[in-house]
Chain A
Protein backbone atom coordinates (compact mmCIF):
# COMPACT_ATOMS: atom_id res chain seq x y z
CA UNK A 1 0.00 0.00 0.00
CA UNK A 2 2.60 2.51 -1.03
CA UNK A 3 -0.23 4.74 -2.22
CA UNK A 4 -1.48 5.07 1.34
CA UNK A 5 1.82 6.34 2.70
CA UNK A 6 1.35 9.64 4.38
CA UNK A 7 -2.42 9.38 4.54
CA UNK A 8 -3.73 11.37 7.43
CA UNK A 9 -5.69 9.00 9.71
CA UNK A 10 -8.26 11.77 10.05
CA UNK A 11 -9.17 11.14 6.43
CA UNK A 12 -10.41 7.64 7.18
CA UNK A 13 -14.02 8.23 8.10
CA UNK A 14 -16.55 5.68 9.24
CA UNK A 15 -18.94 5.38 6.33
CA UNK A 16 -21.17 2.31 6.19
CA UNK A 17 -20.10 -0.24 3.61
CA UNK A 18 -16.61 0.77 2.52
CA UNK A 19 -14.86 3.32 4.61
CA UNK A 20 -11.40 2.45 3.38
CA UNK A 21 -12.21 2.62 -0.33
CA UNK A 22 -14.10 5.89 -0.10
CA UNK A 23 -11.45 7.52 2.03
CA UNK A 24 -8.48 6.49 0.01
CA UNK A 25 -10.24 7.37 -3.23
CA UNK A 26 -10.81 10.78 -1.73
CA UNK A 27 -7.16 10.98 -0.81
CA UNK A 28 -6.05 9.83 -4.25
CA UNK A 29 -8.29 12.28 -6.06
CA UNK A 30 -7.29 15.15 -3.83
CA UNK A 31 -3.62 14.31 -4.20
CA UNK A 32 -3.96 14.24 -7.96
CA UNK A 33 -5.91 17.45 -7.89
CA UNK A 34 -3.54 19.40 -5.68
CA UNK A 35 -0.49 18.43 -7.71
CA UNK A 36 -1.90 19.38 -11.08
CA UNK A 37 -3.37 22.81 -10.58
CA UNK A 38 -3.61 24.48 -13.97
CA UNK A 39 -3.71 28.21 -13.69
CA UNK A 40 -5.38 31.21 -15.25
CA UNK A 41 -2.71 33.80 -14.68
CA UNK A 42 -4.70 36.95 -14.30
CA UNK A 43 -1.83 39.41 -14.11
CA UNK A 44 -3.29 42.89 -13.88
CA UNK A 45 -0.47 45.03 -12.57
CA UNK A 46 2.91 44.90 -10.85
CA UNK A 47 2.02 41.71 -8.93
CA UNK A 48 2.10 40.01 -12.31
CA UNK A 49 5.87 40.50 -12.35
CA UNK A 50 6.24 38.51 -9.13
CA UNK A 51 3.86 35.91 -10.53
CA UNK A 52 6.05 35.64 -13.63
CA UNK A 53 9.06 35.27 -11.35
CA UNK A 54 7.67 32.16 -9.70
CA UNK A 55 6.94 30.70 -13.10
CA UNK A 56 10.55 31.25 -14.16
CA UNK A 57 13.57 29.09 -13.43
CA UNK A 58 14.67 30.55 -10.11
CA UNK A 59 11.47 29.79 -8.20
CA UNK A 60 9.94 27.32 -10.65
CA UNK A 61 6.34 26.61 -9.73
CA UNK A 62 6.50 23.31 -11.59
CA UNK A 63 7.93 21.89 -8.35
CA UNK A 64 4.44 22.29 -6.91
CA UNK A 65 2.67 20.84 -9.92
CA UNK A 66 1.43 24.15 -11.25
CA UNK A 67 3.30 23.68 -14.43
CA UNK A 68 0.73 24.81 -16.95
CA UNK A 69 -0.57 28.32 -17.38
CA UNK A 70 -3.78 27.28 -19.09
CA UNK A 71 -4.36 28.81 -22.48
CA UNK A 72 -8.08 28.75 -21.85
CA UNK A 73 -9.99 29.11 -18.58
CA UNK A 74 -12.01 26.06 -19.60
CA UNK A 75 -8.98 23.90 -18.84
CA UNK A 76 -7.94 25.65 -15.65
CA UNK A 77 -8.43 24.90 -11.97
CA UNK A 78 -7.12 28.03 -10.32
CA UNK A 79 -7.13 31.72 -11.03
CA UNK A 80 -4.42 33.96 -9.57
CA UNK A 81 -5.79 37.48 -9.53
CA UNK A 82 -2.56 39.45 -9.34
CA UNK A 83 -3.11 43.17 -9.22
CA UNK A 84 -5.63 45.98 -9.11
CA UNK A 85 -9.11 45.12 -10.29
CA UNK A 86 -10.85 48.06 -11.91
CA UNK A 87 -14.54 48.32 -12.59
CA UNK A 88 -14.11 47.90 -16.33
CA UNK A 89 -12.31 44.59 -15.71
CA UNK A 90 -15.15 43.15 -13.61
CA UNK A 91 -17.18 41.64 -16.48
CA UNK A 92 -14.04 40.01 -17.88
CA UNK A 93 -13.04 38.44 -14.56
CA UNK A 94 -16.58 37.21 -13.94
CA UNK A 95 -16.79 35.70 -17.39
CA UNK A 96 -13.43 33.92 -17.17
CA UNK A 97 -14.29 32.67 -13.69
CA UNK A 98 -17.60 31.28 -14.87
CA UNK A 99 -15.90 29.52 -17.76
CA UNK A 100 -13.64 27.58 -15.41
CA UNK A 101 -14.86 24.05 -14.63
CA UNK A 102 -15.56 22.99 -11.05
CA UNK A 103 -13.74 22.60 -8.74
CA UNK A 104 -12.16 26.01 -9.11
CA UNK A 105 -10.04 28.06 -6.80
CA UNK A 106 -9.05 31.70 -6.62
CA UNK A 107 -5.95 33.25 -5.07
CA UNK A 108 -6.13 36.98 -4.44
CA UNK A 109 -2.54 38.14 -4.70
CA UNK A 110 -1.44 41.47 -3.29
CA UNK A 111 -3.11 44.28 -1.37
CA UNK A 112 -5.04 45.57 -4.37
CA UNK A 113 -6.77 42.27 -5.06
CA UNK A 114 -7.50 41.85 -1.35
CA UNK A 115 -8.94 45.24 -0.48
CA UNK A 116 -8.09 47.81 -3.11
CA UNK A 117 -4.78 48.51 -1.39
CA UNK A 118 -3.40 52.01 -1.93
CA UNK A 119 -6.34 52.77 -4.20
CA UNK A 120 -9.03 52.06 -1.60
CA UNK A 121 -9.85 55.69 -0.81
CA UNK A 122 -10.89 58.54 -3.08
CA UNK A 123 -11.18 56.32 -6.11
CA UNK A 124 -13.79 56.11 -8.81
CA UNK A 125 -12.46 53.12 -10.69
CA UNK A 126 -10.97 50.50 -8.37
CA UNK A 127 -12.93 47.55 -7.01
CA UNK A 128 -12.25 47.21 -3.27
CA UNK A 129 -11.21 43.60 -3.28
CA UNK A 130 -11.78 40.89 -5.86
CA UNK A 131 -13.88 39.03 -3.25
CA UNK A 132 -16.61 41.57 -3.96
CA UNK A 133 -17.18 39.85 -7.31
CA UNK A 134 -15.89 36.25 -7.10
CA UNK A 135 -15.27 33.93 -4.12
CA UNK A 136 -11.65 33.86 -2.98
CA UNK A 137 -9.92 30.85 -1.38
CA UNK A 138 -6.53 32.22 -0.35
CA UNK A 139 -5.39 35.79 0.26
CA UNK A 140 -1.70 36.54 -0.21
CA UNK A 141 -0.84 39.91 1.35
CA UNK A 142 2.01 42.09 0.21
CA UNK A 143 2.62 44.97 -2.13
CA UNK A 144 3.66 43.06 -4.14
CA UNK A 145 4.14 39.75 -2.30
CA UNK A 146 7.48 38.02 -2.65
CA UNK A 147 7.44 34.83 -4.69
CA UNK A 148 7.90 32.87 -1.47
CA UNK A 149 4.69 34.42 -0.14
CA UNK A 150 2.81 33.29 -3.21
CA UNK A 151 4.22 29.80 -2.73
CA UNK A 152 2.95 29.89 0.83
CA UNK A 153 -0.47 30.80 -0.52
CA UNK A 154 -0.33 28.00 -3.05
CA UNK A 155 0.64 25.51 -0.34
CA UNK A 156 -2.24 26.75 1.80
CA UNK A 157 -4.52 26.13 -1.16
CA UNK A 158 -3.10 22.62 -1.53
CA UNK A 159 -3.83 21.97 2.14
CA UNK A 160 -7.36 23.17 1.51
CA UNK A 161 -7.73 20.85 -1.46
CA UNK A 162 -6.56 17.90 0.65
CA UNK A 163 -9.41 18.54 3.09
CA UNK A 164 -12.08 18.25 0.43
CA UNK A 165 -14.70 15.49 0.79
CA UNK A 166 -16.24 13.50 -2.04
CA UNK A 167 -19.52 13.04 -0.19
CA UNK A 168 -21.14 14.79 2.68
CA UNK A 169 -20.67 13.08 6.00
CA UNK A 170 -23.72 11.34 7.41
CA UNK A 171 -24.87 12.84 10.66
Chain B
Protein backbone atom coordinates (compact mmCIF):
# COMPACT_ATOMS: atom_id res chain seq x y z
CA UNK B 1 0.00 0.00 0.00
CA UNK B 2 1.21 3.47 -0.72
CA UNK B 3 0.44 6.69 1.04
CA UNK B 4 -2.76 7.35 -0.91
CA UNK B 5 -4.25 3.91 -0.35
CA UNK B 6 -3.71 4.03 3.39
CA UNK B 7 -5.21 7.52 3.48
CA UNK B 8 -8.31 6.43 1.53
CA UNK B 9 -8.85 3.42 3.77
CA UNK B 10 -8.39 5.45 6.94
CA UNK B 11 -10.70 8.17 5.64
CA UNK B 12 -13.54 5.70 5.16
CA UNK B 13 -13.52 4.89 8.87
CA UNK B 14 -12.08 7.86 10.75
CA UNK B 15 -12.49 11.58 10.49
CA UNK B 16 -9.06 12.91 9.47
CA UNK B 17 -8.45 16.56 10.29
CA UNK B 18 -5.25 16.95 8.33
CA UNK B 19 -3.17 14.59 6.24
CA UNK B 20 0.25 15.17 4.77
CA UNK B 21 3.05 13.14 3.33
CA UNK B 22 6.47 13.08 4.88
CA UNK B 23 9.14 10.93 3.17
CA UNK B 24 6.38 8.81 1.71
CA UNK B 25 4.80 8.18 5.10
CA UNK B 26 1.26 9.25 5.88
CA UNK B 27 0.99 11.74 8.74
CA UNK B 28 -2.66 11.84 9.74
CA UNK B 29 -3.89 14.28 12.35
CA UNK B 30 -7.02 12.89 13.96
CA UNK B 31 -9.35 13.85 16.76
CA UNK B 32 -8.52 12.56 20.20
CA UNK B 33 -11.90 10.85 20.54
CA UNK B 34 -11.21 8.61 17.56
CA UNK B 35 -7.71 7.48 18.55
CA UNK B 36 -8.79 4.09 19.82
CA UNK B 37 -10.99 3.42 16.79
CA UNK B 38 -8.13 4.40 14.51
CA UNK B 39 -5.62 2.16 16.28
CA UNK B 40 -8.02 -0.78 16.37
CA UNK B 41 -8.72 -0.31 12.65
CA UNK B 42 -5.02 -0.09 11.82
CA UNK B 43 -4.23 -3.13 13.90
CA UNK B 44 -7.08 -5.43 12.88
CA UNK B 45 -7.89 -4.42 9.29
CA UNK B 46 -4.68 -2.99 7.88
CA UNK B 47 -2.28 -5.36 9.71
CA UNK B 48 -0.22 -2.72 11.44
CA UNK B 49 1.13 -5.08 14.06
CA UNK B 50 3.94 -3.02 15.55
CA UNK B 51 4.02 0.27 17.44
CA UNK B 52 7.38 1.85 16.59
CA UNK B 53 7.15 4.59 19.10
CA UNK B 54 4.87 6.94 20.91
CA UNK B 55 6.05 10.42 21.82
CA UNK B 56 4.89 13.99 22.07
CA UNK B 57 5.79 17.54 21.03
CA UNK B 58 5.10 20.65 23.05
CA UNK B 59 3.75 23.39 20.77
CA UNK B 60 3.88 26.13 23.36
CA UNK B 61 2.89 28.93 20.94
CA UNK B 62 -0.37 27.18 20.03
CA UNK B 63 -0.92 25.98 23.62
CA UNK B 64 -1.07 22.42 22.34
CA UNK B 65 0.65 19.14 23.04
CA UNK B 66 0.79 16.78 20.09
CA UNK B 67 0.98 13.07 20.80
CA UNK B 68 2.53 11.07 17.97
CA UNK B 69 2.03 7.38 17.24
CA UNK B 70 4.12 5.62 14.62
CA UNK B 71 2.97 2.21 13.42
CA UNK B 72 4.68 -0.37 11.26
CA UNK B 73 3.45 -3.48 9.56
CA UNK B 74 5.74 -6.47 9.40
CA UNK B 75 3.51 -8.06 6.77
CA UNK B 76 3.20 -5.22 4.25
CA UNK B 77 6.24 -3.16 5.40
CA UNK B 78 4.04 -0.07 5.60
CA UNK B 79 4.45 2.81 7.99
CA UNK B 80 1.90 5.27 9.23
CA UNK B 81 1.99 8.13 11.72
CA UNK B 82 -1.00 9.28 13.74
CA UNK B 83 -0.97 12.69 15.41
CA UNK B 84 -3.36 13.91 18.04
CA UNK B 85 -3.43 17.48 19.30
CA UNK B 86 -4.38 18.03 22.92
CA UNK B 87 -4.94 21.10 25.05
CA UNK B 88 -1.77 22.08 26.85
CA UNK B 89 -3.51 23.02 30.08
CA UNK B 90 -5.18 19.64 30.54
CA UNK B 91 -3.82 17.02 28.15
CA UNK B 92 -5.81 13.80 28.40
CA UNK B 93 -6.17 10.94 25.96
CA UNK B 94 -7.33 7.35 26.03
CA UNK B 95 -4.61 4.73 26.48
CA UNK B 96 -3.77 2.20 23.78
CA UNK B 97 -1.66 0.05 26.10
CA UNK B 98 -4.23 -2.75 25.99
CA UNK B 99 -3.89 -2.89 22.18
CA UNK B 100 -0.10 -2.60 22.05
CA UNK B 101 1.73 -3.75 25.16
CA UNK B 102 4.75 -1.63 24.33
CA UNK B 103 2.62 1.47 24.66
CA UNK B 104 2.50 0.92 28.40
CA UNK B 105 5.99 2.25 29.08
CA UNK B 106 5.89 4.72 26.19
CA UNK B 107 2.81 6.28 27.71
CA UNK B 108 4.44 6.40 31.11
CA UNK B 109 7.39 8.19 29.55
CA UNK B 110 5.17 10.73 27.79
CA UNK B 111 3.33 11.15 31.08
CA UNK B 112 6.48 11.98 33.02
CA UNK B 113 8.05 14.09 30.29
CA UNK B 114 5.00 16.07 29.13
CA UNK B 115 2.33 15.49 31.75
CA UNK B 116 -0.07 13.88 29.28
CA UNK B 117 -2.58 11.84 31.23
CA UNK B 118 -3.49 8.54 29.60
CA UNK B 119 -6.97 7.55 30.73
CA UNK B 120 -7.53 3.92 31.78
CA UNK B 121 -3.81 3.21 31.78
CA UNK B 122 -3.18 0.25 34.12
CA UNK B 123 -0.19 1.74 35.94
CA UNK B 124 0.38 5.41 35.20
CA UNK B 125 3.47 6.15 37.31
CA UNK B 126 6.69 7.94 36.45
CA UNK B 127 8.98 5.71 34.44
CA UNK B 128 12.55 6.86 35.13
CA UNK B 129 12.62 10.36 36.56
CA UNK B 130 13.41 10.90 40.23
CA UNK B 131 11.06 12.95 42.38
CA UNK B 132 11.26 16.71 42.08
CA UNK B 133 11.52 16.90 38.29
CA UNK B 134 8.14 17.54 36.72
CA UNK B 135 7.49 17.56 32.98
CA UNK B 136 11.07 18.37 31.89
CA UNK B 137 10.47 18.26 28.13
CA UNK B 138 7.91 21.04 28.21
CA UNK B 139 9.35 24.18 26.71
CA UNK B 140 8.74 26.25 29.83
CA UNK B 141 10.41 23.74 32.16
CA UNK B 142 12.67 25.09 34.86
CA UNK B 143 14.25 23.81 38.08
CA UNK B 144 16.55 25.29 40.71
CA UNK B 145 19.84 24.63 38.87
CA UNK B 146 18.44 25.08 35.38
CA UNK B 147 20.56 27.27 33.09
CA UNK B 148 19.36 28.61 29.79
CA UNK B 149 21.84 28.39 26.97
CA UNK B 150 23.25 31.89 26.40
CA UNK B 151 22.86 33.54 23.01
CA UNK B 152 26.09 33.79 21.07
A-side residues, CB < 8 A to B, are 87-88, 120-125, 128
With beta carbons under 8 angstroms apart, the residue of A88, A120, A121, A124 that contacts B143 is: A124
In the complex, are the beta carbons of B133 and A125 less than 8 A apart? yes
Q: Is the CB of B130 within 8 A of A87?
A: yes
How many A-B residue pairs lie within 8 Å, measured between CB atoms? 24
Secondary structure of the A contact surface, majority rule: loop
The answer, among A120, A124, A128, for a CB contact under 8 Å with B136, is A124
B149 touches A121 (CB 8 A): yes
Q: Would you give the 0/1 interface string for B111-152, flagging 1 where the beta carbon is closer than 8 Å to chain A?
A: 000000000000000001110010010000101011111100
B 97-114 contacts with A by CB, 8 A: none
- Using C-beta atoms within 8 Å of the partner chain, give the interface range for chain B: 10 to 19
In the complex, which residues of chain B have a beta carbon less than 8 angstroms from the beta carbon of A124? 133, 136, 141, 143, 146
- Distance of A159 Cα from B129 Cα, bound (Å): 41
Listed A/B pairs (24) with beta-carbon separation below 8 Å: A87-B130, A87-B133, A88-B128, A88-B130, A120-B147, A121-B147, A121-B148, A121-B149, A121-B150, A122-B146, A122-B147, A122-B148, A122-B149, A123-B146, A124-B133, A124-B136, A124-B141, A124-B143, A124-B146, A125-B129, A125-B133, A125-B136, A128-B145, A128-B147
Q: How far is the CB of A57 from chain B (nearest CB, A)?
A: 38
- Docked pose: A120 CA to B146 CA in angstroms: 9
**Closest chain A residue to B146, Cβ basis:** A124
Distance to closest chain A CB from B50 (angstroms): 29
Residue on A with the closest CB to B134? A124
| A112–chain B nearest beta-carbon distance, Å | 15
